[in-house]
């Protein structure tokens, strides 16, 4: 594979989009809004679909700078518009068996000190330009998790997320979604942008996809995917930096 597509470098964007609609097909949960009966309401398959349809109709994010990071629906990922462009070369695929050795001890090393129980590494990919490693991405699988105190209610919807690090002088990232779900934030003192998930009926169990983009000295770190509550993704993001500020 000599040429990388955006999907390869960014992560499983297409998978994430599908999971955002398909996660929790039989997700039974008591609504957090509009129910004063005390007993709660049970939802059947695809009960959350109207929430995603409504979100899709809302004003979309335009290209703009948030916390020093250029985001927008039609942007290229930083490696393709940054160092690769400077080197005058196309991004080349780096197989997983080479990544640990080449990224170890470098800013592109991905080694979160926190992963929720049951979350497993699936695979890793990378890219280089002119012999320089410019991108590392790791994909993690999230199992579904039921609430032990309430049968049929999920704490995690389950899904897939990726963590990527991109070496670049250009801090930009492709984000596409409702503008109201995008906001500045901080991860261990670093400026960041979050695209919050769609949360049907106020439920945050990982049904909707999350993106956290962090501005680093070396370029960009990004977490994308679903299957976990937003608070868990923030913990994973913070754990990438250990005690460093």
In a domain, 103, yes or no: yes
In a domain, 245, yes or no: no
Residue 179 near residue 155, CB atoms below 8 Å: no
Residue 139 near residue 132, CB atoms below 8 Å: no
Block means of pLDDT (10 residues each) for the chain, length 245 residues? 42 39 42 35 74 96 96 78 68 88 93 96 91 92 90 88 91 94 97 96 92 95 97 97 61
Question: Please, what is the angle between helix 13-22 and helix 49-56, to 10°?
Answer: 130
Cβ neighbors of 3 (< 8 A, separation 6 or more) are 90, 91, 92
Task: Give the total number of structural domains in the chain.
Answer: 1
Residue 144 CB neighbours (<10 A): 18
- 76: nearest Cα among 191, 220, 185, 212: 220
Cα–Cα distance for residue pair 42/75, rounded to 1 Å: 40
DSSP assignment, residue 201? G
Instruction: Return the pLDDT at 15.
Output: 37
Positive or negative: CA dihedral 144, 142, 55, 31: positive
Cβ neighbors of 31 (< 8 A, separation 6 or more) are 40, 41, 43, 201, 202, 203
In a domain, 1, yes or no: no
Per the structure, the complete domain to which residue 161 belongs is given by: 6-239
CB contact burial 44-63 (16+ within 10 A = b; e otherwise):
eeebbeebeeebeeeeebee
Instruction: Return the pLDDT at 82.
Output: 61
In a domain, 244, yes or no: no
DSSP string, 159-186: EEEEEEEEE-S--EEE--SBGGGEEEEE
């Amino acid at each position: 594979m000599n040429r990388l597509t955006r999907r390869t470098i960014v992560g499983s964007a297409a998978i994430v989009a599908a999971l955002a609609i398909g996660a929790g097909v039989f997700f039974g949960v008591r609504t957090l809004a509009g129910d004063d009966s005390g007993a709660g309401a049970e939802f059947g398959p695809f009960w959350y679909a109207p929430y995603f349809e409504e979100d899709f109709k809302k004003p979309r994010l335009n290209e703009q700078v948030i916390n020093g990071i250029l985001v927008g629906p039609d942007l290229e990922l930083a490696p393709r518009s940054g160092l690769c462009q400077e080197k005058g070369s196309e991004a080349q695929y780096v197989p997983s068996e080479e990544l640990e050795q080449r990224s170890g001890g470098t800013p592109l090393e991905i080694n979160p000190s926190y992963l929720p129980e049951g979350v497993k590494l699936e695979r890793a990919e990378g890219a280089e330009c002119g012999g320089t490693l410019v991108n590392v991405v790791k994909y993690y699988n999230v199992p579904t998790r039921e609430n032990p105190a309430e049968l049929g209610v999920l704490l995690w919807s389950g899904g897939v997320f990726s963590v990527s690090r991109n070496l670049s002088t250009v801090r930009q990232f492709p984000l596409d979604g409702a503008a109201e779900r995008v906001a500045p934030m901080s991860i261990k003192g670093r400026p960041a942008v979050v695209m919050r998930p769609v949360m049907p009926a106020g439920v945050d169990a990982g049904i909707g996809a999350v993106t956290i983009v962090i501005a680093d000295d070396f370029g960009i770190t990004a977490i994308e995917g679903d299957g976990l509550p937003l608070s868990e993704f923030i913990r994973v993001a913070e754990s990438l930096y250990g005690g460093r500020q």
